Structure 1
Amino acid sequence: MKPFSYKNRTRILEQLPTSQYDVIIIGGGITGTGIALDATTRGLKTLLVEMQDFAAGTSSRSTKLVHGGLRYLKQFEVKLVAEVGKERAIVYENAPHVTHPQWMLLPFYKSGTFGKTSTSFGLQVYDFLAGVKRKERRKMLTKEEVLQHEPLLNADGLVGGGEYVEYRTDDARLTLEVAKKAHELGADLVNYTKVDGLLYDENGRVNGVQLTDQLTGESYAGYSSIVVNAGGPWVEQVMGLDQPIEGKKLLLTKGIHLVFDRSVLPLHQPIYFDTPDGRMIFAIPRNQKTYVGTTDTVYEEDLKNPQITEDDKRYLLEAITEIFPTASVGMSDIESTWAGVRPLIQQEGKGPSEISRKDEVWTSSTGLLTIAGGKLTGYRKMAQSITDTISEKLESHGVKAGPCVTKNLRLSGGDFDKSSDYSHYVEDRAHELTKLGLAFQDGLNIASMYGTNTNQIAELISRVTPSNELPLAIRLTLQYAIDFEMAMTPVDYFMRRTGAIFFDIHWVDQWKAAVIAYMKEALDWSSAQTKQYSDELEARLADARG
């Protein structure tokens, strides 16, 4: 695999004046990287630019599920459920190292939103629409069986439950694996590069972007036949650089999550439950932690670093107390938090939880393509749809694109013959990594997270900088993040390459100084840069602590 690093980033930017692309994509979240992968596999010369790090927006701040959206059946979003339901299995087969099937428990109560008959029917329809494999089809449980599965649940008014399979993921790592695969197959992708303006040809058609490197302040221009706006919550800001499109508007909503140690909220499996106000909440065990979310409130403040209020936390804590009354979870038990912003397509007269999660493609009078809305699970189909449009438009430029091939394309790290090979591979690689001096558990952690890229990490053993302060496992994954995942700052590593700020914040506190020192040497930072990136890490840690 060719390097995907700060050196490659610099090369791409320096060559922009002499480069002509078929398509430039604005936005490095799951939607933008998905488009980059689809476009480059069709033979299109592709550039993606992201003003922050890859997945720094919504794509690292979701509920971290590749799920079919069972609740959308209540809103009669049959087509959406069918489409994203089928996509779950595709994402899993192409990236089993970042997508893990788990049985989700849906309890229902006398006074709740779901009843026994409606739940059974709804899950049966869900199985049918999503094309669920026989062994993963829904099971209906009695009250006694539900409590055997999850003793912490409130028994008062409990009628029974349903159990069905959903897929837990690491959203940021999924985005990175898509980006890395696009890079491997020929796309150019750069982070920390902001679009300040759009460029136009003599006919007033968009034919490029004006860029600023956020790390150096240098300015560049990039040219292409097609420009795509995949800015997520920033979609309207990018549209504001162009001609407005009448009647097209976003509604931004905020969703928050709280993380607890597993000893505080020791769940046996993921739970999906409804609240007295009709919302649906997930409570999901993940390694040694349990996280709970999400909320859905209109949001109009800082998009880069959305903040969590005391009211946000109280809302989820009250929901936890209602459904798990013996858990005794309080404010002091919250280890970390995160908040994300959803870019929904505004629908007149509908509140945040009622608005469809479907995506739309808009075209301005100058030819700027904008994709808005959508869900993490449906990223591949969204990319296929807009790349079909791109391909049609490029025909007038004499460019013939190939067909979509992403349905059966393994992502970076997912090069298994079949998904069931993953578990055996992880254990086998973990044993091999012990020969390098790693503990077996560290080997398991690396192999399970990086999949078939584990061998590439092992090959770095001769290159990692010696350190008495950093354990070998951290040095290997950090060097890999720098060389092959374009990590530029400590936040990139701790938040989006490892997820540790969300799920192991004490580990971050333990190793942050040594990681900063390692990156300073590897990336040749000045004292001013080192302070800037250290301060940024402290700010993100403060955000995570709420």
Structure 2
Amino acid sequence: MRSPSPAGDADPTFSFRTRQELLNQLSEREFDLLVVGGGITGAAIAHLAARRGLRVALVEKGDFASGTSSRSSRLIHGGLRYLQHGQVGIVYHSLREQLVLAQTAPHLVRRQSFLLPVYRGSPVPPWMISLLVAVYHGLRPRRSGLAYEHLTPRATLHLEGLLRQDGLLGALLYHEFATHDARLVLETVLAARAEGAATLNYIGLVDFLVGGGRVVGGVLRDQLTRQVVDVRAKAVVNAAGPWSDALVRTLDPKRHRLRLTKGVHIILPHHRLPLSVGVNLFSPRDGRAFMARPAGNLVFVGPTETDYEDDPAAVTAEPVDRDYLLQTINAYFPAARISSADVVGMTAGLRPLYDRPGRAAGEVSRSYEIVWGPEGLLSVLGGKLTLHRLAAQEAVRFLEPRFGHGPMSPNGAAPLLPGGRWDQPAEWIAVQLRASGVTPETIEHLMVTYGGRSAALPEMLRDHPEWGEPLVPGLPHIWAEIPFAREWEMAVQPEDYLLRRSDLALMAAAAGRALPETIGPLWESLSGRVPVRQST
């Protein structure tokens, strides 16, 4: 397949066909860092460490972002509700990271407006809501250019006419940044590869390698072929999110630092709750704040927050979680009459929070903690999507002196992620796609999804014009995205594309459409059959 390299600058492909070669590299090379965990934190550490000249391997036991990092609210947000718990530092840094991420991945991180309706008898008094929003915007960098405004009840209902009118005092309109969480992780993985890191999904840590009283690497198993390899490294980074404690306890059975809380989102069809902006909600049951946010033909509602003590792999969204969210939706939008039959999907993710006992789940800080030990193992605990770059900086700053590097100098401008670079002008790409018969809606979808990496698509469509047809009638996804995901995004199983490289499965359900049965045959025909993942 001839094309510019959408996989980054280091290797023109990032394909399941290169898996064995990558696996061989892991066993044949000695690395400075072995990063375990391919969510946003592990990907960011691998990217920054590779940029700093370290030899890095990044492995993930499932697909990239298959854990918490693909089950978030998909917001790069400052955390307005964190101010209620005095977490001013988290908000201050998050508001600055919003702007950085919007610059490094402008196709993926985009501004979205939010409405915070104020009602008589709200769990949070109107005066406190006004104060929190004023403080929130006072913490914003001036360069953001973002302001907020007070709306009258009439202006509020003009913007969101389905809101309950009874007791409405008005609203505040402010702005956050939205993203596609799993694709942000993938772009960060691609950026790490472009800097020379060896990155591979569906590779799980079986055990640590220990020598001379310290961790010197890991025993890894390919989840597809069951092949086991030893990978040696001067240090191992534990970025396994909810599984971080379990990894460390293989070396120190008494170690326990994380508190897990479960966050559930429900996904509704946009036509059932046709929001024009995001809306902040307070549960009438317990006063917890969460959001309803439109994205394409979907509306994401959540998250819940409850303590979780079972196996992280067994976390699921329960009917009680769904009903809790629906109760609030119907309290705010009674005319919509949303029921469980309207829910097209539910996600359940685990927040790995670094905690001290005695606090309610919502009060636990979203800051991260860097823990060294046992010798040779660095654990990065806690954190949130918005602050992943800062966690990576802190981790690499801690590790570099151990490799003889000088202290990390303050970063200049953050580098663009691969999709944020446009080697070809967007207008040129659009012209080429139109010449292939691609609709304006699909062109916009491709630009937002792949950014500058979409420059590879016109040549694919010249070679295979049939790939320009829609995958699902009425939706913007085209068949070319499947070979793109296979060849340049290490999509190993169909679900990697349907659930993480895209939202096609959810969007088709919201549109009342079935996925085409021919996805499987095309998947297998591109370059041979891929082994089906076996259980561990």
Q: Does 1:268 align with 2:291?
A: no
How far apart are 1:134 and its partner, in Å?
Answer: 5.8
How far apart are 1:44 and its partner, in Å?
Answer: 0.8
Say if 1:97 and 1:450, in contact at 8 Å, map to a contact too: yes
Aligned to 2:113: 103
The equivalences for 1:222-371 within 5 A come to 222-244=231-253, 246=255, 248-276=256-284, 277-304=286-313, 306-371=315-380
Aligned to 2:182: 172
Say if 1:150 and 1:268, in contact at 8 Å, map to a contact too: yes
Aligned to 1:152: 162
How far apart are 1:193 and its partner, in Å?
Answer: 0.3
Gaps of 5+ in 1: 537-546
Q: Does 1:372 align with 2:381?
A: yes
Q: In 2, distance between residues paired with 1:491 and 1:220? A: 26
In the superposition, relative to structure 1, how do residues 473 and 162 fare at CA in structure 2: closer, same or farther (>3 Å)?
closer
TM-score (norm 2): 0.91
Aligned to 1:205: 214
Q: In 1, distance between residues paired with 2:412 and 2:18? A: 25
Letter in 2 for 1:101: R
Say if 1:41 and 1:405, in contact at 8 Å, map to a contact too: no
Q: In 1, distance between residues paired with 2:163 and 2:17? A: 52
Instruction: Specify the SS of the correspondent of 1:510.
Output: coil
Instruction: Specify the SS of the correspondent of 2:272.
Output: coil
Instruction: Specify the SS of the correspondent of 1:96.
Output: coil
Instruction: Specify the SS of the correspondent of 2:350.
Output: strand
Instruction: Specify the SS of the correspondent of 1:511.
Output: coil
Between 1:466-475 and 1:342-351, the stretch displaced more is 466-475
The equivalences for 1:29-44 within 5 A come to 29-44=39-54
Q: In 1, distance between residues paired with 2:85 and 2:420? A: 35
Say if 1:244 and 1:364, in contact at 8 Å, map to a contact too: no
Measured on the aligned residues, the alpha-carbon RMSD in Å equals 2.5
Instruction: Specify the SS of the correspondent of 1:268.
Output: coil
Aligned to 2:447: 447
Q: Deviations over 1:280-308 (max 9, x none)?
A: 12011111222211111122345346322
Aligned to 2:102: 92
Choose between structure 1 and 2: higher helix proportion. 1
Q: Deviations over 1:482-539 (max 9, x none)?
A: 111100000101011112233333679633521111111224227xx4xx47x99xxx
Q: In 2, distance between residues paired with 1:401 and 1:208? A: 24
Aligned to 1:123: 133
Aligned to 1:163: 173
Q: Deviations over 1:153-209 (max 9, x none)?
A: 1222222221111011100000001111111121110000000011122x2111111
TM-score (norm 1): 0.89
Letter in 1 for 2:429: R
Aligned to 1:497: 501
Letter in 2 for 1:415: R
How far apart are 1:218 and its partner, in Å?
Answer: 0.4
Gaps of 5+ in 2: 6-11
Letter in 1 for 2:287: G
Q: In 2, distance between residues paired with 1:142 and 1:410? A: 40
Between 1:431-440 and 1:361-370, the stretch displaced more is 431-440
Between 1:406-415 and 1:467-476, the stretch displaced more is 467-476
Partner of residue 409 from structure 1, selected from 415, 427, 434: 415
Q: In 2, distance between residues paired with 1:498 and 1:269? A: 22
How far apart are 1:468 and its partner, in Å?
Answer: 11
Aligned residue-pair number: 520
Aligned to 1:541: none
Letter in 2 for 1:492: D
In the superposition, relative to structure 1, how do residues 455 and 404 fare at CA in structure 2: closer, same or farther (>3 Å)?
farther
Q: In 2, distance between residues paired with 1:408 and 1:468? A: 35
Partner of residue 18 from structure 2, selected from 8, 17, 20: 8
